[in-house]
Structure 1
């Protein structure tokens, strides 16, 4: 089976699904790998590195798709940019598909006749999601860092968000220091840039994202409250030994009102929980304006976003280059669906390392149940009940 790695075309997406090291591993196992020209450039991987690892370089997406059987990519097919037009019925697409978030994307996938296997739906015997967790850790780390960054550098001006002097240098230090930050080690100028000293931060969801965010916020001096429904997970979080951190099963209005920053990090494999409604957000914002970071935005989001004109605007997203938006209640709102792309090289290496063995299994035709369960659409049929429910479409049971 020929494995193709396309260049990502989603706006501001700098990651690549497979690094040269992973390509070398695949080539040594007998697989033929084709990489689109400049696919790894934004992650710092040159075409020459891929060629040295044993890959063939395709000059464009059309040739990449026409010569490949298994397409391994990071983000969902970009229908608005015509990416779906390259897909053939015999293709297997392996990537973060997030079909629940878009009916248009789902219909395009059905219409292609191809098979789509979703990174985010691969689950092991313990119910863990090994291909989602590396990006969740990065997103959680960035959420904690952004809570401090926007608290210190952003301010509302009329109906927009403006940044204070020095924010570009602070952002550069954030990216440069990310590897240490991922280990919850923040010091020097970066600690000053991101300081949350004595600020109250509320994190909804104590999974991988929430834990990573909590570790960073703790390192930045915040007082923490983690809202986590699962009793076993609450006990785990309490055992982390994070000072000035409470772990609770639910949030009351007083908890939210006192927060300077709120992070949404809940996700149930189908759709993000709406943890705060519009009225509660309005009431809490009247007491203190907040930095609100909705990590789960690609699955519907944890918070309602009411834009500066007073319109409910779930489709309104920021980018890694311009993440912050002003909401109607005066808050700084961050809704970015591909947060890990801010650190593309680090994220690409983490993702590639996690997926390479699954790529080998798919390419060799190995029958693995976790791969079968992660197959959401095939031959024009929806096989994933969550996707069917999200759009009110029929679901065909896999045979």
Structure 2
């Protein structure tokens, strides 16, 4: 199979979809890898390193799309890439289509086989290709929150750890999954007072044991949320429903009661966000806006600012699936691997992910009916 990797063009997106080790693994099995020149620069990977691993370098994204049978990306295609797809081409990337009606329509119209990293799901419910970036985003959320709490960025001027005689900042995390757990880990390490809300008692029990009582765990409901949001210096949204839009758990009225200069970071923004006042997606170039006196950070590709770490972590997770798709083709691979099958969001102009169809209020077609 011919696998193409274009350079990412989303704002400040410095990740790349493959490492030289990944290229070598593919070429060793007889596949051809074509990469746009400069695709790895933001992650500290040179064109020469890709060439030494067996990749063929191309000058433009158009050449990549024309030549490749499968396109590997990190983030969803941008409008400049919409017309580059060809019918039957496999697209393997983060898509988050529940919040992308226009992109969904494009993928259907272009007859793309769209496979989303974030909806590949193992039998135990885990999301293996979302996990590494969720780990990064959770950890980065606290670092970013600490920065925007500084007075020079418009924040309250609060140090997360406090100092002797002055209490630490209150970090409230909504969701105790991978993002929330990693955010809590960093917040605890920085000395903050940490509260995690989740609606799963077993998860709360796990977190209580994991952090040895250092994190306050609270059952998530509207009453408890309202009370926790009020005292938060840093509020982190870490809610995920695989493939679907995140529910708005924090209302605008709750945000209005937050302290001026407090900070909200909604890691779920690429799925619509779980905080009602997150009403637009921001970029790394212009990451925040202020509403009701509260700083809102709504960047959808947080891991892109630590691109080297993120690129290598992501490729570690995606490469086994890339090898499987390249060797068997998407149909045979999906039939043999139910987890991979759940990653197929669009096929033959039809939406095959129920959560995406429901979020966009579009017809859903079971994959089984068109896969064979």
Could you tell me the TM-score, scaled by structure 1's length?
0.85
Aligned to 1:303: 275
Matches within 5 A, 1:242-257: 242=212, 244-250=214-220, 251-257=224-230
Contact 1:150/1:291 (8 A) holds in 2: yes
Cα distance between partner residues in 1 of 2:359 and 2:226: 30
Cα distance between partner residues in 1 of 2:58 and 2:159: 43
Aligned to 1:275: 249
Cα distance between partner residues in 1 of 2:337 and 2:322: 12
Could you tell me the TM-score, scaled by structure 2's length?
0.91
Cα distance between partner residues in 1 of 2:260 and 2:362: 42
Cα distance between partner residues in 1 of 2:169 and 2:216: 14
Contact 2:173/2:180 (8 A) holds in 1: yes
Q: Does 1:231 align with 2:196?
A: no
Q: CA deviation at 1:318?
A: 2.4
Aligned to 1:90: 88
Q: CA deviation at 1:266?
A: 0.5
Q: CA deviation at 1:364?
A: 1.1
Aligned to 2:235: 262
- Stretches (4+) displaced over 6 A: none
Aligned to 2:366: 397
Aligned to 1:189: none
Moved more, 3-12 or 135-144: 3-12
Cα distance between partner residues in 2 of 1:358 and 1:253: 42
Matches within 5 A, 1:179-258: 195=161, 198-242=168-212, 244-250=214-220, 251-258=224-231
> How many pairs align?
354
The Cα RMSD (Å) is: 1.9
Q: Does 1:335 align with 2:298?
A: yes
Cα distance between partner residues in 2 of 1:154 and 1:108: 42
Q: Does 1:326 align with 2:290?
A: yes
Contact 1:2/1:32 (8 A) holds in 2: yes
Cα gap change, 1:14 to 1:268, in 2 (>3 Å): same
Q: Does 1:68 align with 2:57?
A: no
Q: Helix, strand or coil: the match of 2:289?
A: strand
Matches within 5 A, 1:27-42: 27-42=27-42
Contact 2:194/2:216 (8 A) holds in 1: yes
Q: CA deviation at 1:148?
A: 1.3
Q: Does 1:314 align with 2:279?
A: yes
Q: Helix, strand or coil: the match of 2:9?
A: coil
Q: Deviations for 1:239-280, whole angstroms, at most 9, x for unmatched residues?
A: 112554210112243322111111100111112121111112
Q: Deviations for 1:53-74, whole angstroms, at most 9, x for unmatched residues?
A: 0111111111111111011100
Q: Does 1:352 align with 2:315?
A: yes
Contact 1:325/1:332 (8 A) holds in 2: yes
Q: CA deviation at 1:378?
A: 1.0
Q: Helix, strand or coil: the match of 1:201?
A: strand
Matches within 5 A, 1:364-383: 364-365=327-328, 366=333, 367-383=336-352
Q: CA deviation at 1:387?
A: 1.4
Aligned to 1:291: 263
Cα distance between partner residues in 1 of 2:293 and 2:37: 44
Q: CA deviation at 1:153?
A: 4.4
Cα distance between partner residues in 1 of 2:225 and 2:111: 48
Cα distance between partner residues in 2 of 1:349 and 1:254: 40
Cα distance between partner residues in 2 of 1:51 and 1:389: 44
Cα gap change, 1:373 to 1:121, in 2 (>3 Å): same
Contact 1:152/1:195 (8 A) holds in 2: no
Aligned to 1:45: 45
